[in-house]
Amino acid sequence: MLGLKAVLFIALSITLMVAENRGAKVEPLRQWLSWALTPVMWLAASPANVSNSVDYFHSRETLRDENRELRDRLLQQDARLLRLASLEAENVRIRELLASSSALQDRVLIAEILATSQDPYRHQIVLNKGGKDSVYRGQAVLDAYGIMGQVVQVNQGSSVALLISDPDHGIPVEINRTGLQTIALGRGDGHGLSLPYLPGNADVKVGDLLVSSGLGGRFPAGYPVGEIHELRHAGGESFMEAIAYPKAHLNQGRQALLVWSERALPSSAPGEETVHVPIDLPAKPPAKAPKQAVVP
Amino acid sequence: MNGMLVFLGSLLLALMLQIVQLPDWAAMARPAWPLLVIGFWALYAPTSPAIAAAWVLGLCCDVLLNAALGQHALGLVVVAFLIRRLRGTLILFSSWQVALALAPIWALYIFLMFWIDGLARHAADANLRWLPILSTTLVWPLTAGLLDSILSRRARRNRMRLP
Quickly count: other Cβ atoms within 10 Å of residue B135's Cβ: 16
- The domain containing residue A45 runs over which residues? 2-54
Residue A102 lies in a domain: no
Question: H or E element: which one contains A179?
Answer: none
Q: Give the distance from residue B91's alpha carbon to the nearest chain A alpha carbon, in angstroms.
A: 18
- Tell me whether residue A271 is in a domain: yes
Cβ count near A239 (within 10 Å): 16
**Binary contact (B122, A167; C-beta < 8 A):** yes
Evaluate whether residue B163 is within a structural domain.
Answer: no
C-alpha–C-alpha distance, residues A38 and A48, integer Å: 16
The mean pLDDT value for A183-189 works out to 87
pLDDT (average), residues A100-110: 67
Confidence at residue A80, expressed as pLDDT on a 0 to 100 scale: 85
Sign of the torsion angle spanned by Cα atoms B63, B124, B36, B93: positive
Helices (H), chain B: 2-19, 24-27, 33-44, 50-65, 71-85, 87-90, 95-119, 131-161
Provide the ipTM. 0.84
Question: Could you say which DSSP state residue A287 is in?
Answer: G
| Residue A118 is assigned to a structural domain of this protein | yes
Residue A194 in this model has a pLDDT that exceeds 80 = yes
In a domain, A277, yes or no: yes
Ranges A212-221, A238-247, A266-275, most confident: A238-247
Closest CA to B134 of B32, B14, B23, B21: B32
Single residue among A18, A38, A54 that ends a domain in this structure: A54
Mean pLDDT within A43-59? 72
Structural domains counted in chain B: 1
What average pLDDT does range A101-107 have in this prediction? 60
Share of chain A above pLDDT 70, in %: 82
Instruction: Give the gyration radius of chain B's Cα atoms.
Output: 16
Distance of residue A228 Cα from the nearest chain B Cα, in angstroms = 22
In this structure, the answer to whether residues A186 and A271 fall within a common structural domain is: yes
**A137 plus A266 within the same structural domain:** yes
pLDDT at A267 over 70: no
- Stated pTM of the model: 0.69
Give the nearest chain A residue to B117 (CA atoms).
A121
- The count of CB pairs under 8 A between chains A and B is 127
Angstroms from B13 CA to nearest CA on chain A? 9
According to the model, what pLDDT value does residue A100 have? Answer: 56
Computed over every residue of chain A, the mean pLDDT equals 79
Tell me whether residue B120 is in a domain.
yes
- Helix B50-65 vs helix B71-85: crossing angle, to nearest 10: 150
Minimal Cα–Cα distance from B53 to chain A, Å?
A: 11
Structural domain that includes position B55:
35-150
Specify if A257 maps to a domain.
yes
For residues B92 and A40, is the Cβ–Cβ distance under 8 A? no
Do A21 and A138 belong together in one domain? no
- A35 and A167 fall within a common domain: no
Among A100-104, A194-198, A211-215, A229-233, where is mean pLDDT lowest? A100-104
Residue at which a domain ends, from A12, A27, A54: A54
What is the pLDDT at residue A151?
Answer: 93
Determine whether A231 is exposed, middle or buried from the number of CB atoms within 10 Å of its CB (0-12, 13-18, 19+). middle
In a domain, B19, yes or no: no
* H or E stretch covering A192: none
Q: Find the farthest-apart pair of alpha carbons in chain A and give their distance in angstroms, rounded.
A: 77
> Of B17, B66, B68, which is closest to A160 when you measure between CB atoms?
B66
Nearest Cα residue to A291 out of A197, A175, A165, A168: A197
* A238 within a domain of the structure (yes/no): yes
Q: Is residue B155 part of a domain?
A: no
| B60/A37 Cβ within 8 A | yes
Q: Which of residues 127-156 of B touch A (CB under 8 A)?
A: 128
Q: Are the Cβ atoms of B70 and A13 closer than 8 angstroms?
A: yes
Determine which of A163-167, B43-47, B159-163 has the lowest per-residue pLDDT on average: B159-163
Residue of A nearest to B19 (CA): A118
- A interface with B, Cβ–Cβ < 8 A, is 2-3, 5-6, 9-10, 12-17, 20-21, 26, 29-30, 33-34, 37, 40-41, 43-45, 47-48, 115-122, 124, 153, 160, 167-168, 188-190, 251
| Sign, CA torsion A219/A224/A229/A234 | positive
Same domain, A36 and A114: no
| CA atoms of A191 and A245, how far apart (whole Å) | 6
* Domain co-membership, A157 together with A46: no
Nearest CB to B64; choose among A20, A21, A37: A37
Count up the domains in chain A and report the number. Answer: 2
Residue A100 lies in a domain: no
Contact B19, A41 (CB under 8 A): yes
If asked whether residues A41 and A123 sit together in one domain, one would say no
Give a yes or no: residue B58 inside a domain. Answer: yes
In angstroms, rounded to a whole number, what is the distance separating the alpha carbons of residues B144 and B39?
9
Distance CA B163, CA B159 (A): 8
